[in-house]
Homo-oligomer: A and B are copies of this chain.
Amino acid sequence: MARTTGSDGEKTEAAVREAAVSLIARLGYEAMSMRQLAAKVGVQAAALYRYFPTKEDLLFTLMREHMEGLLKAWDRTRPASDDPAARLAAYVENHIAFHIARRHATHVSNMELRSLSPERLTRILKLRTAYEKELRAILRDGAEAGIFEIDDVGLTAMALIQMMTGVIVWFRPGERLSIAEVTTTYLSMTMRLVGAKIDTFSVARPVRRARDAVAL
């Protein structure tokens, strides 16, 4: 056999990407074989090489597009306001929404960096650094304006990002908490962590109290 009826390059490539994200997230990049991936797509392994010259090219493409998507999402969300508290709130909300919506891709981007060649690793890390820089700028502005109380901007930025990204580890849609509840709670934790003086105006406070939620 050869070309199959109804076959379409664009659709196949999209199917490969989607299957790859989910398989790599579950098994890990090294543990996923090209044959497994092909089987999930419903195609022979050789067909994959029409879209991605090597396995690593596939991984890199997934990661690059994830990181570019994150930066683009922030660019669209970024508020016009220069109020640090409003900007921080927007950053947190965008970060959590983006990562919850792309749990598998985030897993891949965070866990499989070591499988990239040095040059490609550098490219991904540059994108990541650019994104983190945005948060540091917000924190610095807020600290200088006396709105935030921050000991160390760089360290606080890393702590916040790790705290927020950690959501994907335990969050499962449809379980105890909704995305809105999680976001609200993380927002208030963030504001307290940075010692925000003005308690974020337009942002509703969370409803849940401690006794409702001992077990996670």
Interface residues of A (CB under 8 A from B): 26-28, 30-31, 111, 114-115, 136, 139-140, 143-144, 148-163, 165-166, 169-170, 177, 182, 184-186, 188-189, 192-195, 206, 208-216
Contacts and interface: CB of A to CB of B under 8 A. Distances in A.
A15 to B, nearest CB: 23
Contact of A185 (B151, B185, B206, B213): B151
Contact of A213 (B153, B161, B208): B153
A144 B214 CA distance: 12
A52 B138 CA distance: 51
A90 to B, nearest CB: 19
Given A28-B30, A115-B31, A156-B189, A162 B151 contact: no
A115 B31 CA distance: 9
A182 B115 CA distance: 30
A177 B151 contact: no
